[in-house]
A and B are shown apart, each in its own frame.
Chain A
Amino acid sequence: FRIKMSTGILPSRMNLQLFKIKAVSAKKGFDLLKKKADALKKAFRGILQKIVESKACIGEDYNEAMLGLAEATFAAGDFSRAVVDHVKKKTPVRLTVHSDNIAGVHLPIFTLRHEEDNSDDNSLLGLTGGGTAINKAREKFTKFLKVLVTVASLQTQFVTLDQVIKVTNRRVNALEFVLIPKIKFTIDYIDKELDEESREDFFRLKKVVEAKKQRQAEKYANNDNKGKQDNENAEEEVMVEEQDAFDDDDEDVFI
């Protein structure tokens, strides 16, 4: 596939160094991110397992709790009204939300807190009869609640983790398929340009040396015929011609 590349970067040695450093750090970042993604996936699967187990527990506990309630109703009569009406301003049961750091990600976790409040109202319920049954029902429901809180905790972690995994994966892919090839391409381009420049220089130098040699040869030929006086002239000529040679050669290269 073609890489759309802006070759608007000056092909200098300094830039070459710069981009080589970029390549190294991009690679490092990529490796780190990949490791993080793998760790997250592992944690994800672990949570999934726990959720499955806990949900099975819920079913059982719920049935037990309902049974307990039925027994209590049978023993004490219909007290549901009383319970609902006696709901107070302060709940003895609270939830605490922590932020836990799992595999480098902040995930919420719920804990059930119990405050020993004046549970007078609730205790009064069983006075007419079946007090023990009501208490038993209460216990069963509390147990049920605990399991529920765990499952809710796991569920939120699950959902949050899912989102984070998606984001991380997107970043990993971006690095792998867009950024790193781009940097590589730039490095290759700069390399090529530098090579060409040095080739040009070499070629230019060669031509000048050749031209000089030629002139030296001519000069000696002339000296044999003319004599010393012309040496000075010849030297001047050589100087001038060298410059001419330079100009000529430049034209050569530009063509």
Chain B
Amino acid sequence: MGKKKFMSQTDMKIGVIGDEDTVTGMCLAGIGHVDGQGKKNFLVVDSKTHQKEVEDKFHELVSRKDVAMVLITQACAEGIRMTVDQYAASGQVIPTVLEIPSAEMP
């Protein structure tokens, strides 16, 4: 039948990729997390960040099993549009990728 069984998981995290304000706000709300190796579940993207870095972070967050949701601002999403679309087409449901409005484009 192809029914995907979702294991009920608790304590899954939310990842964030966005500009400084967005990430600051999110960390204020309390979703920031650093694991033992110093890997953070968020990335502050500014004019100096390379697209590659954003892409890598995106891949990393998506493959992590403890991340259930990835928030990415629309500006950043446009930059890695191909990667995001590929992920959407792959049909992987966990984690979900949600685009949030950016400061520049409401």
Q: Please determine whether A122 and B28 come into contact, CB atoms closer than 8 angstroms.
A: yes
By the criterion CB–CB under 8 Å, are A83 and B98 in contact? no
- B25 CB to nearest A CB, Å: 4
Cα–Cα, bound, A130→B6 (Å): 44
Q: Report which of A59, A113, A137 forms a contact with B28, defined as CB distance below 8 A.
A: A137
Proximity string of chain A (95-120) to chain B, C-beta cutoff 8 Å, 1 when within and 0 when not? 11111000001111010011000010
Residues on the A chain within 8 Å of B13, using CB: 91, 94-95
Contacts of B3 in A (CB 8 A): 105-106, 164
Interface residues as binary, B1-37 with A (CB distance below 8 Å gives 1, 0 otherwise): 1111111111111100000110111111111111110
Known interface pairs A97-B94, A159-B91, A160-B4; A87-B40 also in contact (CB < 8 Å): yes
Q: For the complex, what is the distance from the CA of A1 to the CA of B28, rounded to whole Å?
A: 66
**Whole-angstrom distance between the alpha carbons of A60 and B7 in the complex?**
33
Contact of A91 among B8, B24, B30, B94 (CB under 8 A): B30
Interface residues of A in 112-164 (CB under 8 A from B): 113-114, 119, 122, 134, 137-138, 141-142, 144-145, 148-149, 151-153, 155-156, 159-160, 163-164
Interface 1/0 per residue, B91-105 and A, CB below 8 Å: 101101010110100
Residues in A with CB closer than 8 Å to B5 are: 99, 106
Interface membership of chain A positions 178-199, coded 1 if the CB is closer than 8 angstroms to chain B and 0 otherwise = 0000000000000000000000
Q: Is the CB of A149 within 8 A of B69?
A: yes
Distance from B56 Cβ to chain A, minimum over Cβ atoms (Å): 19
CA distance A42 to B93 in the complex (A): 21
| Nearest-Cβ distance from residue A248 to partner chain B, whole angstroms | 62
Number of interface residues of B (CB under 8 A): 45
A96 to chain B: which residues have CB within 8 Å?
8-12
Q: Kindly report which residue of chain B lies nearest to residue A97, judged by CB atoms.
A: B9
Chain A neighbourhood of B62, CB < 8 A: none
B7 to chain A, nearest CB (A): 8
Given A59-B106, A94-B13; A156-B94 close (CB under 8 Å): yes
Evaluate contact between B98 and A94: CB separation under 8 angstroms: no
A59→B69 CA distance, assembly (Å): 19
Residue picked from B23, B25, B106, most chain A C-beta under 10 Å: B25
Complex contacts, A164 vs chain B, CB 8 Å = 3
Q: Please tell me if the beta carbons of B11 and A58 are within 8 angstroms of each other in the complex.
A: no
> Does A40 make an interface contact (CB < 8 A)?
no
| Chain A residues within an 8 Å CB radius of B11 | 94-96, 113
Asked if B77 is at the interface (CB within 8 A of a chain A CB), the reply is no
Q: Which residue of B lies closest to A88 (CB)?
A: B34
Judge whether B100 and A62 touch: CB under 8 Å: yes
30 example contacts (A-B, Cβ-Cβ < 8 A) are as follows A59-B101, A63-B106, A66-B25, A80-B21, A83-B24, A83-B27, A84-B24, A88-B33, A88-B34, A89-B35, A93-B14, A94-B11, A94-B13, A96-B12, A97-B6, A97-B7, A97-B8, A97-B10, A97-B12, A106-B5, A107-B6, A110-B96, A114-B30, A134-B28, A137-B25, A137-B28, A141-B29, A148-B100, A156-B94, A160-B93
The chain A residues found within 8 Å of chain B, CB to CB, are 58-59, 62-63, 65-66, 69, 79-80, 83-84, 86-99, 105-108, 110, 113-114, 119, 122, 134, 137-138, 141-142, 144-145, 148-149, 151-153, 155-156, 159-160, 163-164, 167
